[in-house]
Chain A
Amino acid sequence: MVYVFGGLIIVSFVKQKNVILSKKRNLFVFLVLSASGIALGTVRMIFPYIPSIANTLEKFMK
């Protein structure tokens, strides 16, 4: 799924190129969100059974 999203991000960038490149803050937000999404997706792909936040909280609070 990370590849599909990666492809969609590239398509989105190409389609919205003028808007994204028109201002530095647009580019910054787009890059930060894309990088966060790809990082989260990559971690999920490498460690598919990583414990969730709810699970960790439950163990920690017991």
Chain B
Amino acid sequence: MNDQLTMRQVVFMYLFISLSPVLRQIPSALAGEAGRSGYLSPFWSLIVIVPLVAVILLLISSFPGLNIYEIIVSLLGKICAKIVIILYMAWIILFLTAKINIYSLTLQFTLMPKTRSDFFMQVMLILVYYALLRGSKTIFRFSEFSLGPILLLIGVLFICAVSRLRTDYLLPVSTINLPSTIKASTNVIAVGGNMIIALFFADKLGISLTNKQKRKFWSGSLFFIVFCFIITIFTFGISGASLTAKLPFPFYITVKSISFFNIFERFEVIVTLICILSDFITICLLFIILMKLIQWLFGLKEREFLYVPLAMVIYYLSYYVSTTQFEFEYLYRYVIVYANMIFQYIIPLLLGLICLVRRKHIKKQY
């Protein structure tokens, strides 16, 4: 019973792990692809995120108490499920190694430029190991408790920045810009798809899915869109789209120019801290998912003995995947965004379609 999670914890986790990509990657990606109209892209992503949420809720309610592996086994059989799990493992390993890399690069770029990235990675792995020993519930509860104060802080920053927003950086926007905003929305969609984590932990959500839980899930996805919109407006309105497109961490530079009634300044350290916390929780979560995938693939019951060898593989793979900011940006823009589309949207949507086709058979079973 101690292992059970609530929908609220899953939604808070989703928002928490979305914090760092929303603050770090989305503003520059939107500015680069859609220019000053990029802040409209989050709304286009609703067209894809809404069906994804519906599919996830459909799968959870059609297969109560089952996780993604058990759902795939029920729909496609064991062999197909194992193949899908192997593909998901490859995606999670890529995502995890890239995340460890960008975490160390963020710390180097913002606070400690003279420290080697190896040191940051080693410290992170030690912290993740310690967190994993406490169990997944602790990590979910940490995100649940921390998200509120973090959003409050960002709200205060936004209030401080309102007077600095320049409308000429945001307007005019015309219909000519719409195609580019639609194309740029892939960057928001790639982060919004993190909602799929609910399927990995669906077996811990309890047997029945109540309307209240569904409402929480829907509101989480809507909150994500609004949050993306606010952060993009904030960054574009102060730094301008052209500068935002060129910076590796535009929100950090934007916050540098903010002061609280000319009394408190240098809030950028807080932004770095938020990103580091979000990265830490994301890395912990991805480690848990990766270990779950290994357990499902090999039919293991215990997983504690995998921590050290898996940490070693991930640590060294992070060097082989990307080492510099430029390499990470290339990998993120041309590989991770499209890989996310496949694993966060196409596979769950296919599962949802199969679930709809075989609905009568499934209902008889449960």
Residues A54 and B328 in contact, CB atoms below 8 Å apart: yes
Contacts A16-B305, A36-B309, A40-B320 known; list 16 others, CB within 8 Å.
A1-B122, A5-B308, A8-B308, A12-B305, A12-B309, A20-B305, A26-B300, A26-B305, A40-B313, A40-B316, A40-B317, A44-B316, A52-B327, A53-B331, A54-B328, A55-B327
B330–A57 touching, CB < 8 Å? yes
Question: In the assembled complex, which residues on chain A have CB atoms less than 8 Å from the CB atom of B322?
Answer: 52-55
Q: A19-B304, A55-B327 are in contact. Are A36 and B313 (CB under 8 A)?
A: yes
Q: A5-B312, A37-B316, A54-B321 are in contact. Are A30 and B327 (CB under 8 A)?
A: no
Q: State whether A29 touches B298 (Cβ < 8 A).
A: yes
Contact residues in A for B118 (Cβ distance below 8 Å): 1
Q: How far is the CA of A10 from the CA of B307 in the complex (A)?
A: 13
Give chain A residues whose Cβ lies under 8 Å from the Cβ of B298. 25, 28-29
A53 touches B320 (CB 8 A): yes
Closest Cβ of chain B to A13, distance in Å, is 8
Give the nearest-CB partner of A6 in chain B. B312
CB-CB < 8 A to A33: which residues of B? 306, 309-310, 312-313
Which residues in B have some Cβ–Cβ distance to A below 8 Å?
Answer: 118, 122, 294, 298-300, 302, 304-313, 315-317, 319-323, 327-328, 330-331, 334-335
Chain A 17-32: CB-based contact to B (< 8 A → 1; otherwise 0): 0011001011011100
B308 close to A9 (CB less than 8 A)? yes
Contact status A58-B316, CB under 8 Å: no
Alpha-carbon separation in the docked complex, A57 to B315 (Å): 21
Within 8 A of B (CB), among A36-52: 36-38, 40-41, 44, 50, 52
Contact of A37 among B300, B309, B321, B330 (CB under 8 A): B309
Q: Are A25 and B309 in contact (CB under 8 A)?
A: no
Could you say which of A9, A29, A50 has the most chain B C-beta atoms within 10 Å of its C-beta? A29
Output the nearest chain A residue to B118 by Cβ-Cβ distance.
A1
Residues of chain A lying within 8 A (CB to CB) of residue B319: 44, 52
* A25 neighbours in B (Cβ, 8 Å): 298-300
List the B side residues contacting A8 at CB < 8 Å: 308, 312
Q: Which residues of A contact B315 (CB under 8 A)?
A: 1, 5, 37
Complex Cα distance, B327 from A29, in Å, reads 31
Residues of A within 8 A of B335 (CB): 54, 57
Is the beta-carbon distance between A29 and B294 smaller than 8 angstroms? yes
Closest chain B residue, CB of each to CB of A17: B305
> Taking A1-B118, A1-B122 as contacts, is the C-beta distance between A19 and B302 under 8 angstroms?
yes
Contact B306 A30 (CB under 8 A): yes
